[in-house]
Structure 1
Protein backbone atom coordinates (compact mmCIF):
# COMPACT_ATOMS: atom_id res chain seq x y z
CA UNK A 1 0.00 0.00 0.00
CA UNK A 2 2.82 2.38 0.89
CA UNK A 3 4.55 1.60 -2.39
CA UNK A 4 1.28 2.21 -4.25
CA UNK A 5 1.14 5.73 -2.81
CA UNK A 6 4.84 6.61 -2.88
CA UNK A 7 5.99 5.27 -6.26
CA UNK A 8 4.20 7.90 -8.43
CA UNK A 9 5.71 10.70 -6.33
CA UNK A 10 9.14 9.92 -7.75
CA UNK A 11 8.17 11.69 -10.96
CA UNK A 12 7.83 15.45 -10.97
CA UNK A 13 5.08 15.60 -13.60
CA UNK A 14 2.98 13.14 -11.59
CA UNK A 15 3.36 15.25 -8.45
CA UNK A 16 2.21 18.29 -10.39
CA UNK A 17 -0.72 16.36 -11.84
CA UNK A 18 -1.79 15.04 -8.41
CA UNK A 19 -2.01 18.59 -7.06
CA UNK A 20 -3.90 19.89 -10.08
CA UNK A 21 -6.31 16.93 -10.11
CA UNK A 22 -7.05 17.16 -6.39
CA UNK A 23 -7.49 20.92 -6.13
CA UNK A 24 -9.10 21.20 -9.57
CA UNK A 25 -11.52 18.38 -8.74
CA UNK A 26 -12.53 20.09 -5.51
CA UNK A 27 -13.10 23.37 -7.35
CA UNK A 28 -15.18 21.68 -10.04
CA UNK A 29 -17.35 20.08 -7.36
CA UNK A 30 -17.75 23.37 -5.52
CA UNK A 31 -18.75 25.49 -8.50
CA UNK A 32 -20.65 22.59 -10.07
CA UNK A 33 -23.09 22.68 -7.15
CA UNK A 34 -24.49 26.00 -8.34
CA UNK A 35 -24.57 24.81 -11.94
CA UNK A 36 -26.48 21.58 -11.25
CA UNK A 37 -28.94 23.14 -8.81
CA UNK A 38 -29.79 25.76 -11.42
CA UNK A 39 -30.54 23.00 -13.92
CA UNK A 40 -27.66 24.16 -16.11
CA UNK A 41 -25.57 20.99 -16.21
CA UNK A 42 -25.28 21.42 -19.96
CA UNK A 43 -23.59 24.77 -19.36
CA UNK A 44 -20.41 23.14 -18.05
CA UNK A 45 -20.29 20.83 -21.05
CA UNK A 46 -21.00 23.68 -23.44
CA UNK A 47 -18.54 26.19 -21.99
CA UNK A 48 -15.71 23.66 -22.05
CA UNK A 49 -16.33 23.21 -25.78
CA UNK A 50 -16.64 26.95 -26.35
CA UNK A 51 -13.38 27.58 -24.49
CA UNK A 52 -11.69 25.18 -26.89
CA UNK A 53 -12.37 27.72 -29.63
CA UNK A 54 -10.59 30.37 -27.59
CA UNK A 55 -7.67 28.04 -26.94
CA UNK A 56 -7.31 27.31 -30.65
CA UNK A 57 -7.46 31.00 -31.54
CA UNK A 58 -4.88 31.87 -28.87
CA UNK A 59 -2.52 29.15 -30.11
CA UNK A 60 -2.91 30.32 -33.71
CA UNK A 61 -2.29 33.95 -32.74
CA UNK A 62 0.68 33.07 -30.52
CA UNK A 63 -0.79 34.57 -27.34
CA UNK A 64 -1.19 33.10 -23.86
CA UNK A 65 -3.65 30.22 -24.19
CA UNK A 66 -5.01 30.55 -20.64
CA UNK A 67 -5.79 34.25 -20.95
CA UNK A 68 -7.28 33.88 -24.42
CA UNK A 69 -9.38 30.87 -23.42
CA UNK A 70 -10.64 32.58 -20.28
CA UNK A 71 -11.67 35.72 -22.14
CA UNK A 72 -13.35 33.62 -24.82
CA UNK A 73 -15.20 31.65 -22.16
CA UNK A 74 -16.39 34.82 -20.44
CA UNK A 75 -17.56 36.23 -23.76
CA UNK A 76 -19.45 33.02 -24.47
CA UNK A 77 -21.06 33.13 -21.03
CA UNK A 78 -22.16 36.74 -21.49
CA UNK A 79 -23.58 35.93 -24.93
CA UNK A 80 -25.54 32.99 -23.50
CA UNK A 81 -26.91 35.11 -20.67
CA UNK A 82 -27.94 37.92 -23.05
CA UNK A 83 -29.70 35.53 -25.44
CA UNK A 84 -31.55 33.87 -22.57
CA UNK A 85 -32.57 37.23 -21.08
CA UNK A 86 -33.49 39.03 -24.29
CA UNK A 87 -36.64 41.07 -24.01
CA UNK A 88 -39.50 41.68 -26.37
CA UNK A 89 -40.64 38.06 -26.39
CA UNK A 90 -37.61 36.90 -28.34
CA UNK A 91 -35.59 35.27 -25.57
CA UNK A 92 -34.21 31.80 -26.20
CA UNK A 93 -34.43 29.02 -23.68
CA UNK A 94 -31.17 28.65 -21.78
CA UNK A 95 -30.42 25.25 -23.29
CA UNK A 96 -30.92 26.61 -26.81
CA UNK A 97 -28.69 29.63 -26.13
CA UNK A 98 -25.99 27.33 -24.73
CA UNK A 99 -26.26 25.05 -27.74
CA UNK A 100 -25.94 27.88 -30.26
CA UNK A 101 -22.98 29.70 -28.70
CA UNK A 102 -20.93 26.75 -27.49
CA UNK A 103 -21.21 24.61 -30.61
CA UNK A 104 -20.20 27.62 -32.71
CA UNK A 105 -17.15 28.11 -30.48
CA UNK A 106 -16.16 24.46 -30.73
CA UNK A 107 -16.67 24.46 -34.49
CA UNK A 108 -14.40 27.50 -34.74
CA UNK A 109 -11.72 25.61 -32.83
CA UNK A 110 -12.05 22.59 -35.12
CA UNK A 111 -11.80 24.91 -38.13
CA UNK A 112 -8.53 26.34 -36.81
CA UNK A 113 -7.23 22.83 -36.14
CA UNK A 114 -7.78 21.94 -39.76
CA UNK A 115 -6.38 25.21 -41.06
CA UNK A 116 -3.21 25.41 -38.97
CA UNK A 117 -1.22 22.25 -38.30
CA UNK A 118 0.81 23.85 -35.51
CA UNK A 119 -2.40 24.52 -33.59
CA UNK A 120 -3.32 20.84 -33.72
CA UNK A 121 -0.02 19.75 -32.26
CA UNK A 122 -0.24 22.23 -29.39
CA UNK A 123 -3.88 21.47 -28.51
CA UNK A 124 -3.95 17.67 -28.48
CA UNK A 125 -3.66 17.70 -24.68
CA UNK A 126 -6.48 20.24 -24.44
CA UNK A 127 -8.84 17.95 -26.34
CA UNK A 128 -8.10 14.65 -24.62
CA UNK A 129 -6.14 15.66 -21.52
CA UNK A 130 -2.58 14.68 -20.64
CA UNK A 131 -0.63 14.61 -17.38
CA UNK A 132 2.62 15.03 -19.30
CA UNK A 133 1.89 18.70 -19.95
CA UNK A 134 1.20 19.65 -16.32
CA UNK A 135 3.88 21.96 -14.93
CA UNK A 136 4.69 23.88 -11.76
CA UNK A 137 3.05 26.90 -13.39
CA UNK A 138 -0.21 24.95 -13.57
CA UNK A 139 0.07 24.32 -9.83
CA UNK A 140 0.39 28.04 -9.15
CA UNK A 141 -2.50 28.72 -11.49
CA UNK A 142 -4.84 26.24 -9.81
CA UNK A 143 -3.83 27.63 -6.39
CA UNK A 144 -4.67 31.17 -7.49
CA UNK A 145 -8.00 30.08 -8.96
CA UNK A 146 -8.77 28.14 -5.76
CA UNK A 147 -8.21 31.19 -3.57
CA UNK A 148 -10.24 33.40 -5.90
CA UNK A 149 -13.08 30.88 -6.06
CA UNK A 150 -13.36 30.41 -2.29
CA UNK A 151 -13.19 34.16 -1.62
CA UNK A 152 -15.82 34.86 -4.30
CA UNK A 153 -18.21 32.21 -2.98
CA UNK A 154 -17.88 33.53 0.57
CA UNK A 155 -18.42 37.12 -0.59
CA UNK A 156 -21.36 36.25 -2.87
CA UNK A 157 -22.79 33.38 -0.83
CA UNK A 158 -26.26 34.81 -0.19
CA UNK A 159 -26.84 36.33 -3.66
CA UNK A 160 -25.67 33.10 -5.32
CA UNK A 161 -27.87 31.04 -2.99
CA UNK A 162 -30.92 33.23 -3.62
CA UNK A 163 -30.41 33.32 -7.39
CA UNK A 164 -29.87 29.55 -7.49
CA UNK A 165 -33.11 28.52 -5.81
CA UNK A 166 -35.47 31.32 -6.84
CA UNK A 167 -33.99 33.54 -9.58
CA UNK A 168 -37.26 35.32 -10.40
CA UNK A 169 -37.92 36.38 -6.80
CA UNK A 170 -34.24 37.25 -6.40
CA UNK A 171 -34.45 39.59 -9.38
CA UNK A 172 -37.56 41.31 -7.99
CA UNK A 173 -36.03 41.52 -4.50
CA UNK A 174 -33.07 43.53 -5.72
CA UNK A 175 -30.47 40.78 -5.96
CA UNK A 176 -28.21 41.78 -8.89
CA UNK A 177 -29.01 38.85 -11.16
CA UNK A 178 -26.71 40.05 -13.92
CA UNK A 179 -23.74 40.40 -11.58
CA UNK A 180 -24.52 37.09 -9.91
CA UNK A 181 -24.58 35.33 -13.28
CA UNK A 182 -21.33 37.05 -14.21
CA UNK A 183 -19.65 35.85 -11.01
CA UNK A 184 -20.77 32.29 -11.71
CA UNK A 185 -19.49 32.48 -15.28
CA UNK A 186 -16.09 33.76 -14.13
CA UNK A 187 -15.79 30.97 -11.57
CA UNK A 188 -16.94 28.31 -14.01
CA UNK A 189 -14.48 29.41 -16.69
CA UNK A 190 -11.70 29.42 -14.11
CA UNK A 191 -12.30 25.87 -12.89
CA UNK A 192 -12.71 24.55 -16.44
CA UNK A 193 -9.39 26.03 -17.50
CA UNK A 194 -7.48 24.77 -14.46
CA UNK A 195 -8.69 21.19 -14.94
CA UNK A 196 -8.83 21.03 -18.74
CA UNK A 197 -5.12 20.24 -19.10
CA UNK A 198 -5.62 16.92 -17.29
CA UNK A 199 -9.25 16.10 -18.09
CA UNK A 200 -9.52 17.37 -21.64
CA UNK A 201 -12.44 19.17 -23.27
CA UNK A 202 -14.33 15.92 -23.83
CA UNK A 203 -14.58 14.94 -20.13
CA UNK A 204 -14.31 18.14 -18.08
CA UNK A 205 -18.10 18.52 -17.83
CA UNK A 206 -18.33 15.27 -15.87
CA UNK A 207 -16.09 16.63 -13.10
CA UNK A 208 -18.42 19.62 -12.78
CA UNK A 209 -21.68 17.65 -12.62
CA UNK A 210 -20.99 14.27 -10.97
CA UNK A 211 -19.52 15.36 -7.57
CA UNK A 212 -22.37 17.77 -6.86
CA UNK A 213 -24.96 15.25 -8.08
CA UNK A 214 -23.50 12.63 -5.74
CA UNK A 215 -23.42 15.09 -2.82
CA UNK A 216 -27.14 15.81 -3.14
CA UNK A 217 -27.92 12.22 -2.10
CA UNK A 218 -25.93 12.60 1.12
CA UNK A 219 -27.51 15.69 2.69
CA UNK A 220 -30.39 18.14 2.37
CA UNK A 221 -28.35 21.14 3.54
CA UNK A 222 -27.04 23.43 0.81
CA UNK A 223 -23.92 24.34 2.78
CA UNK A 224 -23.16 20.65 3.36
CA UNK A 225 -23.75 19.90 -0.32
CA UNK A 226 -21.05 22.45 -1.14
CA UNK A 227 -18.64 20.79 1.28
CA UNK A 228 -19.44 17.25 0.13
CA UNK A 229 -19.11 18.25 -3.52
CA UNK A 230 -15.65 19.67 -2.91
CA UNK A 231 -14.59 16.61 -0.90
CA UNK A 232 -15.88 14.17 -3.52
CA UNK A 233 -14.31 16.15 -6.36
CA UNK A 234 -10.93 16.36 -4.63
CA UNK A 235 -10.90 12.72 -3.50
CA UNK A 236 -11.91 11.31 -6.87
CA UNK A 237 -9.36 13.51 -8.63
CA UNK A 238 -6.60 12.18 -6.38
CA UNK A 239 -7.76 8.55 -6.48
CA UNK A 240 -8.33 8.63 -10.23
CA UNK A 241 -4.87 10.05 -10.84
CA UNK A 242 -3.24 7.30 -8.77
CA UNK A 243 -5.21 4.60 -10.56
CA UNK A 244 -4.45 6.02 -13.99
CA UNK A 245 -0.73 5.93 -13.19
CA UNK A 246 -0.70 2.34 -11.96
CA UNK A 247 -3.05 1.03 -14.67
CA UNK A 248 -1.33 3.08 -17.39
CA UNK A 249 -4.59 4.50 -18.76
CA UNK A 250 -5.92 7.99 -19.50
CA UNK A 251 -6.22 10.15 -16.40
CA UNK A 252 -9.41 11.94 -17.42
CA UNK A 253 -11.37 8.77 -18.15
CA UNK A 254 -10.17 7.13 -14.92
CA UNK A 255 -11.18 10.11 -12.80
CA UNK A 256 -14.66 10.17 -14.33
CA UNK A 257 -15.12 6.44 -13.74
CA UNK A 258 -14.07 6.84 -10.10
CA UNK A 259 -16.55 9.71 -9.77
CA UNK A 260 -19.31 7.59 -11.27
CA UNK A 261 -18.52 4.82 -8.77
CA UNK A 262 -18.82 7.30 -5.90
CA UNK A 263 -22.07 8.58 -7.41
CA UNK A 264 -23.55 5.06 -7.44
CA UNK A 265 -22.46 4.48 -3.83
CA UNK A 266 -23.90 7.82 -2.66
CA UNK A 267 -27.14 7.08 -4.50
CA UNK A 268 -27.44 3.75 -2.71
CA UNK A 269 -26.55 5.22 0.68
CA UNK A 270 -28.78 8.24 0.17
CA UNK A 271 -31.77 6.12 -0.78
CA UNK A 272 -31.29 3.88 2.25
CA UNK A 273 -30.96 6.87 4.58
CA UNK A 274 -34.15 8.47 3.24
CA UNK A 275 -36.10 5.21 3.60
CA UNK A 276 -34.90 4.95 7.21
CA UNK A 277 -36.04 8.50 7.94
CA UNK A 278 -39.49 7.96 6.47
CA UNK A 279 -40.20 4.59 8.12
CA UNK A 280 -42.89 4.92 10.83
CA UNK A 281 -41.86 4.21 14.40
CA UNK A 282 -43.61 1.06 15.64
Structure 2
Protein backbone atom coordinates (compact mmCIF):
# COMPACT_ATOMS: atom_id res chain seq x y z
CA UNK A 1 0.00 0.00 0.00
CA UNK A 2 2.79 2.42 0.93
CA UNK A 3 4.66 1.59 -2.27
CA UNK A 4 1.49 2.31 -4.25
CA UNK A 5 1.11 5.71 -2.60
CA UNK A 6 4.76 6.64 -3.04
CA UNK A 7 5.08 5.36 -6.60
CA UNK A 8 3.95 8.58 -8.37
CA UNK A 9 6.60 10.61 -6.54
CA UNK A 10 9.18 9.01 -8.84
CA UNK A 11 7.88 11.22 -11.63
CA UNK A 12 8.88 14.87 -11.81
CA UNK A 13 5.61 15.88 -13.50
CA UNK A 14 3.61 14.49 -10.58
CA UNK A 15 5.68 16.29 -7.95
CA UNK A 16 5.27 19.59 -9.81
CA UNK A 17 1.57 18.91 -10.25
CA UNK A 18 1.19 18.15 -6.54
CA UNK A 19 2.90 21.41 -5.55
CA UNK A 20 0.79 23.44 -8.00
CA UNK A 21 -2.47 21.73 -6.96
CA UNK A 22 -1.81 22.39 -3.27
CA UNK A 23 -0.87 26.02 -3.87
CA UNK A 24 -3.80 26.49 -6.26
CA UNK A 25 -6.29 25.03 -3.80
CA UNK A 26 -5.02 27.19 -0.94
CA UNK A 27 -4.94 30.31 -3.11
CA UNK A 28 -8.49 29.82 -4.39
CA UNK A 29 -9.69 29.08 -0.86
CA UNK A 30 -8.21 32.35 0.41
CA UNK A 31 -9.53 34.58 -2.38
CA UNK A 32 -12.84 32.73 -2.46
CA UNK A 33 -13.75 33.96 1.03
CA UNK A 34 -14.12 37.53 -0.22
CA UNK A 35 -15.94 36.48 -3.39
CA UNK A 36 -18.40 34.26 -1.50
CA UNK A 37 -19.17 36.80 1.22
CA UNK A 38 -19.83 39.45 -1.44
CA UNK A 39 -22.46 37.18 -2.98
CA UNK A 40 -20.44 37.00 -6.21
CA UNK A 41 -19.71 33.27 -6.32
CA UNK A 42 -20.63 33.21 -9.99
CA UNK A 43 -17.77 35.57 -10.85
CA UNK A 44 -15.19 32.78 -10.52
CA UNK A 45 -17.04 30.73 -13.09
CA UNK A 46 -17.49 33.76 -15.31
CA UNK A 47 -13.91 35.04 -15.12
CA UNK A 48 -12.45 31.62 -15.89
CA UNK A 49 -14.52 31.62 -19.09
CA UNK A 50 -13.47 35.18 -19.87
CA UNK A 51 -9.80 34.29 -19.44
CA UNK A 52 -10.32 31.41 -21.85
CA UNK A 53 -10.97 34.05 -24.52
CA UNK A 54 -7.56 35.53 -23.72
CA UNK A 55 -6.05 32.04 -23.84
CA UNK A 56 -7.36 31.56 -27.37
CA UNK A 57 -6.29 34.98 -28.60
CA UNK A 58 -2.80 34.60 -27.09
CA UNK A 59 -2.25 31.23 -28.74
CA UNK A 60 -3.21 32.67 -32.13
CA UNK A 61 -0.94 35.70 -32.10
CA UNK A 62 1.96 33.92 -30.37
CA UNK A 63 1.80 36.03 -27.22
CA UNK A 64 2.85 34.58 -23.86
CA UNK A 65 -0.15 32.82 -22.29
CA UNK A 66 0.18 34.47 -18.88
CA UNK A 67 0.60 37.95 -20.36
CA UNK A 68 -2.19 37.76 -22.94
CA UNK A 69 -4.77 35.90 -20.86
CA UNK A 70 -3.83 37.94 -17.78
CA UNK A 71 -4.50 41.27 -19.50
CA UNK A 72 -7.72 39.89 -20.97
CA UNK A 73 -8.91 38.55 -17.63
CA UNK A 74 -8.11 41.73 -15.72
CA UNK A 75 -9.90 43.84 -18.34
CA UNK A 76 -12.94 41.56 -18.05
CA UNK A 77 -12.89 41.75 -14.24
CA UNK A 78 -12.69 45.54 -14.23
CA UNK A 79 -15.47 45.73 -16.83
CA UNK A 80 -17.67 43.50 -14.69
CA UNK A 81 -16.91 45.56 -11.61
CA UNK A 82 -17.77 48.80 -13.41
CA UNK A 83 -20.95 47.55 -15.09
CA UNK A 84 -22.21 45.91 -11.89
CA UNK A 85 -22.22 49.33 -10.18
CA UNK A 86 -25.19 50.18 -12.38
CA UNK A 87 -28.11 49.21 -10.17
CA UNK A 88 -30.30 48.55 -13.21
CA UNK A 89 -27.97 45.83 -14.43
CA UNK A 90 -26.48 44.10 -11.39
CA UNK A 91 -23.36 41.98 -10.95
CA UNK A 92 -24.91 38.68 -12.09
CA UNK A 93 -26.11 40.14 -15.39
CA UNK A 94 -22.78 41.90 -15.99
CA UNK A 95 -20.88 38.66 -15.37
CA UNK A 96 -23.22 36.72 -17.65
CA UNK A 97 -22.91 39.10 -20.59
CA UNK A 98 -19.20 39.90 -20.48
CA UNK A 99 -17.76 36.49 -19.62
CA UNK A 100 -19.93 34.31 -21.82
CA UNK A 101 -19.24 36.61 -24.77
CA UNK A 102 -15.51 36.29 -24.11
CA UNK A 103 -15.74 32.50 -23.84
CA UNK A 104 -17.74 32.30 -27.06
CA UNK A 105 -15.14 34.44 -28.80
CA UNK A 106 -12.40 32.09 -27.61
CA UNK A 107 -14.25 29.05 -28.96
CA UNK A 108 -14.83 30.82 -32.28
CA UNK A 109 -11.15 31.76 -32.62
CA UNK A 110 -9.93 28.25 -31.88
CA UNK A 111 -12.50 26.73 -34.22
CA UNK A 112 -11.66 29.00 -37.14
CA UNK A 113 -7.89 29.29 -36.75
CA UNK A 114 -6.99 26.17 -34.78
CA UNK A 115 -5.08 25.83 -31.51
CA UNK A 116 -1.42 26.82 -31.63
CA UNK A 117 -0.79 27.02 -27.90
CA UNK A 118 -1.44 24.87 -24.82
CA UNK A 119 -3.68 21.85 -25.16
CA UNK A 120 -7.38 22.75 -25.49
CA UNK A 121 -8.66 19.92 -23.25
CA UNK A 122 -6.07 20.71 -20.57
CA UNK A 123 -7.27 24.31 -20.50
CA UNK A 124 -10.86 23.15 -20.02
CA UNK A 125 -10.41 20.35 -17.48
CA UNK A 126 -6.86 20.68 -16.12
CA UNK A 127 -3.94 18.29 -16.52
CA UNK A 128 -0.98 17.34 -14.33
CA UNK A 129 1.04 16.47 -17.42
CA UNK A 130 0.96 20.05 -18.68
CA UNK A 131 2.43 21.55 -15.49
CA UNK A 132 5.87 23.04 -16.09
CA UNK A 133 8.51 24.45 -13.75
CA UNK A 134 7.49 27.92 -14.92
CA UNK A 135 3.90 27.20 -13.82
CA UNK A 136 5.15 26.34 -10.33
CA UNK A 137 7.13 29.59 -10.01
CA UNK A 138 4.34 31.73 -11.46
CA UNK A 139 1.78 30.28 -9.06
CA UNK A 140 4.16 30.63 -6.10
CA UNK A 141 4.74 34.29 -6.99
CA UNK A 142 1.01 34.99 -7.34
CA UNK A 143 0.35 33.23 -4.02
CA UNK A 144 2.91 35.42 -2.23
CA UNK A 145 1.46 38.54 -3.88
CA UNK A 146 -2.10 37.56 -2.87
CA UNK A 147 -1.14 36.90 0.75
CA UNK A 148 0.63 40.28 0.85
CA UNK A 149 -2.47 42.02 -0.55
CA UNK A 150 -4.85 40.27 1.87
CA UNK A 151 -2.82 41.08 4.96
CA UNK A 152 -1.62 44.49 3.78
CA UNK A 153 -5.16 45.65 2.99
CA UNK A 154 -6.99 43.49 5.53
CA UNK A 155 -9.30 46.11 7.04
CA UNK A 156 -10.05 47.86 3.75
CA UNK A 157 -10.98 44.58 2.07
CA UNK A 158 -13.03 43.48 5.05
CA UNK A 159 -14.97 46.73 5.38
CA UNK A 160 -15.53 47.07 1.61
CA UNK A 161 -16.82 43.50 1.52
CA UNK A 162 -19.50 43.93 4.19
CA UNK A 163 -20.58 47.56 3.84
CA UNK A 164 -19.11 49.28 0.75
CA UNK A 165 -21.36 52.36 0.96
CA UNK A 166 -20.44 53.17 4.54
CA UNK A 167 -16.80 52.27 3.84
CA UNK A 168 -16.72 54.75 0.97
CA UNK A 169 -17.82 57.68 3.13
CA UNK A 170 -15.52 56.53 5.94
CA UNK A 171 -12.32 57.01 3.99
CA UNK A 172 -11.91 53.61 2.34
CA UNK A 173 -11.26 53.90 -1.39
CA UNK A 174 -13.77 51.21 -2.31
CA UNK A 175 -13.28 51.45 -6.06
CA UNK A 176 -9.53 50.96 -5.71
CA UNK A 177 -10.00 48.16 -3.18
CA UNK A 178 -12.47 46.39 -5.50
CA UNK A 179 -10.06 46.75 -8.43
CA UNK A 180 -7.26 45.26 -6.32
CA UNK A 181 -9.47 42.31 -5.39
CA UNK A 182 -10.39 41.79 -9.06
CA UNK A 183 -6.68 41.83 -9.95
CA UNK A 184 -5.92 39.19 -7.32
CA UNK A 185 -8.88 37.09 -8.44
CA UNK A 186 -7.89 37.28 -12.12
CA UNK A 187 -4.29 36.31 -11.38
CA UNK A 188 -5.42 33.44 -9.14
CA UNK A 189 -7.72 32.01 -11.80
CA UNK A 190 -5.10 32.48 -14.50
CA UNK A 191 -2.43 30.63 -12.52
CA UNK A 192 -4.70 27.72 -11.59
CA UNK A 193 -6.27 27.00 -14.99
CA UNK A 194 -3.45 24.64 -15.98
CA UNK A 195 -4.16 22.22 -13.18
CA UNK A 196 -7.88 22.83 -12.46
CA UNK A 197 -9.28 23.93 -15.81
CA UNK A 198 -11.77 26.55 -17.01
CA UNK A 199 -14.90 24.53 -16.28
CA UNK A 200 -14.07 23.66 -12.66
CA UNK A 201 -12.06 26.53 -11.18
CA UNK A 202 -15.22 28.20 -9.84
CA UNK A 203 -15.83 25.25 -7.53
CA UNK A 204 -12.40 25.67 -5.92
CA UNK A 205 -13.29 29.30 -5.20
CA UNK A 206 -16.65 28.46 -3.62
CA UNK A 207 -16.42 25.08 -1.83
CA UNK A 208 -13.58 25.86 0.67
CA UNK A 209 -15.10 29.14 1.96
CA UNK A 210 -18.54 27.55 2.22
CA UNK A 211 -17.05 24.70 4.28
CA UNK A 212 -15.19 27.23 6.44
CA UNK A 213 -18.40 29.24 6.87
CA UNK A 214 -20.11 26.18 8.32
CA UNK A 215 -17.29 25.74 10.83
CA UNK A 216 -16.86 29.28 12.15
CA UNK A 217 -18.50 32.70 12.54
CA UNK A 218 -15.17 34.54 12.79
CA UNK A 219 -13.86 36.14 9.62
CA UNK A 220 -10.15 35.74 10.39
CA UNK A 221 -10.63 32.07 11.22
CA UNK A 222 -12.69 31.63 8.06
CA UNK A 223 -9.74 32.89 6.00
CA UNK A 224 -7.25 30.32 7.22
CA UNK A 225 -9.78 27.48 7.41
CA UNK A 226 -10.80 28.05 3.80
CA UNK A 227 -7.14 28.14 2.76
CA UNK A 228 -6.42 24.85 4.55
CA UNK A 229 -9.49 23.13 3.08
CA UNK A 230 -8.56 24.32 -0.40
CA UNK A 231 -4.93 23.23 -0.09
CA UNK A 232 -5.93 19.85 1.35
CA UNK A 233 -8.43 19.27 -1.46
CA UNK A 234 -5.76 20.13 -4.01
CA UNK A 235 -3.25 17.76 -2.44
CA UNK A 236 -5.65 14.82 -2.09
CA UNK A 237 -7.30 15.51 -5.45
CA UNK A 238 -4.00 15.46 -7.33
CA UNK A 239 -3.05 12.12 -5.77
CA UNK A 240 -6.45 10.65 -6.71
CA UNK A 241 -6.10 12.09 -10.20
CA UNK A 242 -2.98 10.01 -10.76
CA UNK A 243 -4.32 6.76 -9.32
CA UNK A 244 -7.79 6.99 -10.90
CA UNK A 245 -6.55 8.41 -14.22
CA UNK A 246 -9.06 11.28 -14.25
CA UNK A 247 -8.43 14.99 -14.97
CA UNK A 248 -6.81 16.75 -12.02
CA UNK A 249 -9.48 19.45 -11.81
CA UNK A 250 -12.22 16.84 -11.61
CA UNK A 251 -10.54 14.97 -8.76
CA UNK A 252 -9.81 18.16 -6.78
CA UNK A 253 -13.42 19.35 -7.02
CA UNK A 254 -14.78 15.93 -6.06
CA UNK A 255 -12.59 15.82 -2.95
CA UNK A 256 -13.83 19.29 -2.01
CA UNK A 257 -17.42 18.18 -2.57
CA UNK A 258 -16.93 15.17 -0.28
CA UNK A 259 -15.52 17.46 2.44
CA UNK A 260 -18.52 19.76 2.00
CA UNK A 261 -21.01 16.89 2.38
CA UNK A 262 -19.24 15.55 5.49
CA UNK A 263 -19.11 18.96 7.19
CA UNK A 264 -22.72 19.64 6.21
CA UNK A 265 -23.77 16.32 7.77
CA UNK A 266 -21.92 17.10 11.01
CA UNK A 267 -22.92 20.76 11.40
CA UNK A 268 -26.32 20.66 9.73
CA UNK A 269 -25.35 23.71 7.68
CA UNK A 270 -26.84 26.05 10.27
CA UNK A 271 -24.24 28.72 9.61
CA UNK A 272 -24.82 28.80 5.88
CA UNK A 273 -26.74 32.01 5.72
CA UNK A 274 -26.08 35.19 3.81
CA UNK A 275 -24.09 37.65 5.88
CA UNK A 276 -26.29 40.56 6.82
CA UNK A 277 -23.73 43.11 7.96
CA UNK A 278 -20.22 43.93 9.10
CA UNK A 279 -20.50 42.34 12.51
CA UNK A 280 -21.88 38.98 11.46
CA UNK A 281 -18.73 37.08 10.57
CA UNK A 282 -15.83 38.96 12.05
CA UNK A 283 -15.33 37.75 15.57
CA UNK A 284 -16.11 39.27 18.95
CA UNK A 285 -16.07 42.91 17.82
CA UNK A 286 -18.05 44.51 15.04
CA UNK A 287 -16.07 46.09 12.22
CA UNK A 288 -15.36 49.76 12.69
CA UNK A 289 -14.54 52.19 9.88
CA UNK A 290 -10.78 52.53 9.34
CA UNK A 291 -9.38 55.79 10.61
CA UNK A 292 -8.98 58.63 8.16
Q: What TM-score do you get using the length of structure 1 for normalisation?
A: 0.92
Per-residue CA deviation, residues 195-220 of structure 1 (Å, 9 max, x unaligned), is 11011101111001101111100111
Per-residue CA deviation, residues 175-230 of structure 1 (Å, 9 max, x unaligned), is 11111111111111111111110111011110011011111001110000000000
RMSD of equivalent CA atoms? 1.6
2:274 corresponds in structure 1 to: none
| Mapped partners of 2:237, 2:205: distance in 1 | 15
Alignment of 1:115-194 (within 5 A): 115-119=112-116, 122-194=119-191
Give the CA deviation at 1:249.
1.6
Within the candidate set 192, 215, 218, 1:218 is matched to: 215
| 3-state SS of 2:214 partner | coil
1:42 corresponds in structure 2 to: 42
Give the CA deviation at 1:168.
1.7
Alignment of 1:3-82 (within 5 A): 3-82=3-82
| Mapped partners of 2:113, 2:177: distance in 1 | 38
Give the CA deviation at 1:92.
1.5
Per-residue CA deviation, residues 14-49 of structure 1 (Å, 9 max, x unaligned), is 111000000110000000000000000000000000
| Mapped partners of 1:247, 1:137: distance in 2 | 26
Higher helix share: 1
| Mapped partners of 2:185, 2:103: distance in 1 | 17
| 3-state SS of 2:92 partner | helix
| Mapped partners of 2:59, 2:78: distance in 1 | 23
Give the CA deviation at 1:119.
3.8
| Mapped partners of 1:262, 1:221: distance in 2 | 20
Q: What TM-score do you get using the length of structure 2 for normalisation?
A: 0.89
1:237 corresponds in structure 2 to: 234
Provide structure 1 residue ranges, at least 5 long, that are not aligned to the other structure.
Answer: 275-282
Give the CA deviation at 1:121.
6.6
| 3-state SS of 1:118 partner | coil
How many pairs were matched up? Answer: 271
4+ residue segments displaced more than 6 Å: none
Give the CA deviation at 1:272.
8.4
Deviation larger for 159-168 or 39-48:
159-168
| Mapped partners of 2:232, 2:88: distance in 1 | 40
| Mapped partners of 1:205, 1:181: distance in 2 | 19
